Amino acid sequence: MSKKDEVFKPALKGKKLPIISLDNKWYKLMNGIEHTPEMKEKEEQLKALLKRQGKINNDLKAVRKEKSVLMDKIVNVMDEDDADAKKAEYSAKVNECNERIDAIQDELLDIPAQIAEVNAALMLDTMEICYGTIKENTDKINELNAQIDEARIELKKNIVRRQNAELKNQQMYFYMHDIFGPEVIDMFDMTYNPGDKPVVTAAAAKKEKKEG
């Protein structure tokens, strides 16, 4: 059983879901995430159903308005000579309006269920693709964390190696200076940097010593 059927579908059961295509937060959620062909199809279906629902509601308002006008006409022709004929004509049109209203209302009853079905399916697809993206990102984060930890360990080792090399150079400089003298040390073209002091050559160190 897929994650969608096993976990996501039961989680949505009985919950009132927002219409995804009307929710700006959904578009922000899916920003940068490629929609599957199935998701694109459902999104278009949802938009079409919502558009159809809006048109039907407008049609219902128009027919009800037309019926209201006809009812007014029936009342207004009562005193006319051909009142019966006109009344029959208007009444027939009123009946047509009633039939159209019934048909429109029947369709309006079906559309919300269709919208809810497509919307829920799109929501499940969204949960599935977001779950996959989060899992993929989590794996990447864990991999990068491991690399960062390794780099930190290696950095600490390199700092110790550098400190040891600097200390060894300092020791060798002092011993060689005492044993061979500054003139010989200059032949090695050495630099000396005890701690955070500026780097100086052996010759510069000798000059500084004389001046001191």
Sketch the domain layout of the chain as residue ranges: 35-156, 158-211
- C-beta of residue 26 within 8 angstroms of C-beta of residue 20: yes
User: Which of these, 206, 15, 20, lies nearest to 130 by C-alpha position?
Assistant: 20
- The backbone torsions φ and ψ at residue 200, rounded to the nearest 5 degrees and listed phi first, read -130, 150
More confident residue, 162 or 6: 162
* pLDDT band at residue 141 under the 50/70/90 scheme: very high
For residue 191, the cross-strand partners are 201
pLDDT value, residue 151: 97
- Residues 124 and 144: their CA atoms lie apart, in Å, by 30
For residue 192, the cross-strand partners are 200
pLDDT value, residue 195: 47
- Does pLDDT of 1 surpass 60? no
Q: Choose the weakest-confidence range: 26-30, 170-174, 183-187.
A: 183-187
**pLDDT digits over 68-116, tens only?**
999 888 888 776 667 778 888 888 999 999 999 999 999 899 999 999 8
- The backbone torsions φ and ψ at residue 201, rounded to the nearest 5 degrees and listed phi first, read -80, 165
* % residues pLDDT > 90 (the chain): 41
